[in-house]
Chains A and B, each alone.
Chain A
């Protein structure tokens, strides 16, 4: 299994500002994933981040709004840029277990934009 931590656990931000969310894994992993969960909704994949390459974004998500860094095999960041109240969500990172098909999720970052 993998243990994932995220920082911050929650934040309240003003519209127009940006927030960078950190995801740290206790083991080296090839692929990391970023999800968004809007209030009362299911999870939606934002992007897939491989170390050493550009992140791959899903339809409806763009790099200018959600830039992602993946500097090494245990860490990634997601930035939510120029925030609006519609960005209020829980943001989760996840990784795939080594040699298995299970995905492990972090505890999430609860973002409220006022």
Chain B
């Protein structure tokens, strides 16, 4: 599976959009981009995933660049409860397990 690079930490003001970047320059054609988050003392929670098109659900939007070498997770109106570690994971469609990197610790401030 391709490796991902994320900034170790980010801050965001409450009510503003949080944009979390992820680089995955070695991604191959059949690999998806997944985002999970882990709120303190809980198991990771699925947020969203995509292959090449931008995706949106009730939690977030995922923007994937045309060359697929990077992506951005957008939380449109961050709340204090969005404070968590966010993991960007690249996984092929023939793999079943998730390989977690270090993630980005997002702190939403009042």
Q: Measured between alpha carbons, how far is A96 from B94 in the docked complex, in Å? A: 13
Tell me whether A45 and B97 are in contact (CB under 8 A). yes
Q: Measured between alpha carbons, how far is A106 from B34 in the docked complex, in Å? A: 18
A44, A101, A104: residue with the most chain B Cβ atoms closer than 10 Å: A101
Q: Which residues of B contact A (CB under 8 A)?
A: 32, 34, 36, 41-46, 49, 87, 91, 93, 96-103
Main secondary structure of the interface of A (DSSP, over half): strand
Known: A31-B96, A48-B97, A101-B93. A43 touches B44 (CB 8 A): yes
Which B residues touch A20, using CB under 8 A? Answer: none
Tell me whether A96 and B96 are in contact (CB under 8 A). yes
Tell me whether B103 and A104 are in contact (CB under 8 A). no
Tell me whether B46 and A103 are in contact (CB under 8 A). yes
Q: Is A76 an interface residue (CB 8 A)?
A: no
Q: Measured between alpha carbons, how far is A92 from B45 in the docked complex, in Å? A: 12
Interface range on chain A (Cβ under 8 Å from partner): 20 to 34
Tell me whether A42 and B102 are in contact (CB under 8 A). yes
- In the complex, what's the smallest C-beta–C-beta distance from A113 to chain B, in angstroms? 19
Which chain B residue lies CB-closest to A45? B97
Q: Which residues of A contact B (CB under 8 A)?
A: 4, 31, 33, 35, 42-45, 48, 92, 94, 96, 101-108
11 further interface pairs, Cβ-Cβ under 8 Å (given A43-B44, A107-B42): A42-B87, A42-B103, A45-B97, A45-B99, A94-B98, A96-B96, A101-B34, A101-B49, A102-B49, A103-B36, A104-B46
Tell me whether A94 and B99 are in contact (CB under 8 A). no
- In the complex, what's the smallest C-beta–C-beta distance from A83 to chain B, in angstroms? 21
Tell me whether A102 and B42 are in contact (CB under 8 A). no
Q: Measured between alpha carbons, how far is A13 from B106 in the docked complex, in Å? A: 33
Which A residues touch B34, using CB under 8 A? Answer: 101
26 A–B pairs (Cβ distance < 8 Å), ordered by A: A4-B43, A42-B87, A42-B100, A42-B103, A43-B100, A44-B100, A45-B97, A45-B98, A45-B99, A48-B96, A92-B43, A94-B43, A101-B32, A101-B34, A101-B49, A101-B93, A102-B49, A103-B36, A103-B44, A103-B46, A103-B98, A104-B46, A105-B44, A106-B43, A108-B41, A108-B42
